[in-house]
Amino acid sequence: MTLKDYAALVEDRLNELLPEAAEKTPGIDETPWLLNNAMRYSLMAGGKRLRPAMLLACADMLGASREEAMIPACALEMIHTYSLIHDDLPGMDNDTLRRGRPTNHVVFGEGQAILAGDGLLSLAVELMIGNVMAHPDNYAGGIRAMNEIVRGAGVSGMVGGQCMDLYCEREGLCDERMLSYIHMNKTARMLISPLRAAAALAGYAPESPEWKALTAYGVNFGLLFQAVDDILDVVGDEKTLGKSVGKDAAEGKLTYVALYGLEGARKRADALAGEARASLAPFGGRAAFFLDLLDSMAHRAS
């Protein structure tokens, strides 16, 4: 199974979980069509489904139930999408284009975009709770998986990273320690949590060598992801990327390229990929998906 194969599974399931709704006054206890369609607009906007694919691939590698892993995987993508909607708002990054389409608030208005984000986070949690209740034989694993996803996206994770990113941008100050906080929490945490969630579903404890190896992979892969992002903002193609380039330099942002230069950033990316590769040793041939992922990440153009 490749990234594309897993992405197709996720795409289908997301489409089932949040189908297009027709306009009508909602019955009590129903989701309004408008909220449904605003959430769907951003959720089905052609993302790469990287995070849910990693969760499913890791579940397969560790022998967890793919059926049980599907809802946490979709929930993770909903949380990722909510963060993009809120990030694009005028009060945050004020972006009007995302993946080549107008951003959520441009289409639905600012208030509805805030609610679409709130709704996707709420729906993600609802679905995961339902999934835990549907698998009473694995209560502990299901709750621990949900815990990893929610904590990774929360105040000491993604939201914390966003807060410091916005703060540094507005205050115009950022040192290397702060930058490393932002990369780790805004970017890497949401790439670590799919692996840990799958490990929790498979019954691995945080003390196990597998958990530690997966965390090491996630950290290095997450930082590699960020380094490549920074490099692409300098050398990438706007059309292929679906977003404007050169923004970081124009805004004087502290990036891998600003810190180490273009060649230095590439060397740093290679080193991170090497670390990530080494951490997969305990899984041997079962880790093919994650080895391939490193190669495609290192060579990605979008």
Assess 106 for contact with a second copy (CB under 8 A).
Answer: no
Contact mark string toward a second copy, 120..139, x via CB under 8 A: -xxx-xx--xx-xx--x--x
Contact mark string toward a second copy, 52..91, x via CB under 8 A: ------------------------------x---x--xxx
Assess 30 for contact with a second copy (CB under 8 A).
Answer: yes
* Sole window of 65-73, 117-125, 237-245, 281-289 interacting with a second copy (rule: CB under 8 A): 117-125
Q: Distance between CA 81 and CA 87 in Å, rounded? A: 10
Q: Looking at the chain, list the stretches that DSSP marks H as alpha helix, in order from N- to C-terminal side.
A: 3-17, 33-43, 50-62, 66-88, 104-108, 110-134, 139-152, 158-171, 176-182, 189-201, 209-235, 238-241, 247-250, 256-279, 288-298
Structure tokens at 63: 């022998």
Question: Smaller CB distance to a second copy: residue 151 or 212?
Answer: 151
- Contacts with a second copy by CB under 8 A: the residue count is 67
Per residue in 25-40, is it b (16+ CB within 10 Å) or e — as a string? eeeeeeeeeebbbbbb
Cβ neighbours of residue 111 closer than 8 Å, sequence gap 6 or more: none
Instruction: Map residue 102 onto helix, strand or coil.
Output: strand
Structure tokens at 13: 């399931």
Q: Please name which of 188, 156, 142, 164 lies closest in space to residue 50, comparing C-alpha atoms.
A: 188
Question: Smaller CB distance to a second copy: residue 71 or 293?
Answer: 71
Residue 113 CB, shortest distance to a second copy, in Å, is 7
Q: Distance between CA 55 and CA 20 in Å, rounded? A: 26
Question: Smaller CB distance to a second copy: residue 126 or 237?
Answer: 126
Kindly tell me which residue out of 105, 196, 266, 268 binds a second copy, with binding defined by CB under 8 A.
105
Residue 127 CB, shortest distance to a second copy, in Å, is 10
Helix or strand (DSSP H, E) at 101: strand 101-102
Residues 159-218 that bind a second copy (CB under 8 A): 159-160, 162-164, 166-167, 170, 175, 177-178, 180-181, 184-185
Assess 29 for contact with a second copy (CB under 8 A).
Answer: yes
Structure tokens at 210: 């597998």
Helix or strand (DSSP H, E) at 97: strand 97-98
Assess 31 for contact with a second copy (CB under 8 A).
Answer: yes
Which residues are near a second copy by CB under 8 A?
A: 25-32, 34-36, 39, 82, 86, 89-92, 105, 109-115, 117-119, 121-123, 125-126, 129-130, 132-133, 136, 139-140, 143-144, 146-147, 150-151, 153-157, 159-160, 162-164, 166-167, 170, 175, 177-178, 180-181, 184-185
